[in-house]
Amino acid sequence: MKKQIAVWAALTAVALLMTGCTAEAPPPAAAPAPATPSKTTAAPEPAPAPEAARAAAYRTWGIEPLPAPPAPPAVKPVQRKRGGPVPVISDVPTTDKVVFLTIDDGAEKDPEFVRMMDELDVPFTMFLTDSAISGDYGYFEPLVAQGHGVANHTLTHPNLRTLSPEAQRREICGQQERLRKRYGTAPRLFRPPFGNWNEATRAAAGTCGVDAIVLWRESMQIKDMQYQRGDRKLHPGDIVLAHFRGPGELKGRTMTEMTATMLRKIQEQGFTVARLEDYV
């Protein structure tokens, strides 16, 4: 029996050689890929919500955020009638709890004030005098780009009541043209220096393309407001006067400090600030 098994095995081997069949070894197992070290990527921090960012900007200047003003009225409450005299206003007829900021002259050119207005987004109107701004017209360009209004405050800041009608016209029309060339549009609003005007002023302003002569109800001093009314408080639609002034005129305080104080006074009385050009 053992002999028969040996013979069978020999015959099988011969058959395999004759057919060229060989047993293939299984392919080697693929080497495992090197492990990639895991990278922990920190998730980007979410940007602060607009209201939170606004509140933070206000607190940088030591004040709380003012409420957003209401939507502008569909019809402006102050309009010059076609062919009629130029309106003269110290306030705007409205029930909105808003006041309007106006800043005169342009002598002080504090770069921090430009930054402050950009961060707070508080609208105001600049009543500019050429003799005060001509040394640095460029200072006011970023304020114009922020959307603040440009208005006329004469070429040389004279007491207009002491001038002839023609001299008044030159002061007003000359500044209209100067501001148009510098900042792109002719002003619609005019403020006479010292608040002094007469009918010749009104007539001259009308020929120069002015839509309203703008006076004021309150004026911001160094630390407080001066009021024209006996109740010593703000009323809806009041126009507030301030000036481009620096520490020399503000007893060491800066223009940004004066502005922050003014905004606090407005907020304390429950008001916010709207854009004058939306109402006049």
The predicted-structure confidence for 65-88, as pLDDT tens digits, reads as follows: 999 999 999 999 999 999 899 999
Which tens digits make up the pLDDT trace of 154-174?
Answer: 999 999 999 999 999 999 999
Structural element, H or E, at residue 46: none
Average pLDDT, stretch 50-79? 93
Question: pLDDT over 90 for what percent of the chain?
Answer: 80
When mean pLDDT is compared across 46-50, 198-202, 251-255, the lowest value belongs to: 46-50
Q: What is the DSSP letter of 238?
A: B
Bridge partners of 49? Answer: none
Structural element, H or E, at residue 151: strand 149-152
- 43 band by pLDDT with thresholds 50, 70 and 90: low
Which tens digits make up the pLDDT trace of 111-157?
Answer: 999 999 999 999 999 999 999 999 999 999 999 999 999 999 999 99
Which domains occur in the chain, in start order? Answer: 86-278 (3.20.20.370)
Q: How high is the pLDDT of residue 251?
A: 95
Q: At what angle do helices 199-207 and 165-183 cross, to 10 degrees?
A: 40
97 vs 102, 198, 229, 260, 262, CA distance in Å? 17, 31, 17, 19, 16
Q: For residues 63 and 267, what is the distance between their CA atoms, to the nearest angstrom?
A: 9
226 φ/ψ angles, rounded to the nearest 5 degrees: -100, 135
Bridge partners of 240? Answer: 101, 218
Which tens digits make up the pLDDT trace of 3-28?
Answer: 444 433 443 443 333 444 344 444 44
Average pLDDT score, the chain: 88
Q: Using the predicted structure, report yes or no on whether residue 49 has a pLDDT greater than 90.
A: no
Q: What is the pTM of this model?
A: 0.82
Q: Using the predicted structure, report yes or no on whether residue 39 has a pLDDT greater than 60.
A: no
Question: pLDDT over 70 for what percent of the chain?
Answer: 83
Q: What is the DSSP letter of 155?
A: S
Q: How high is the pLDDT of residue 44?
A: 65
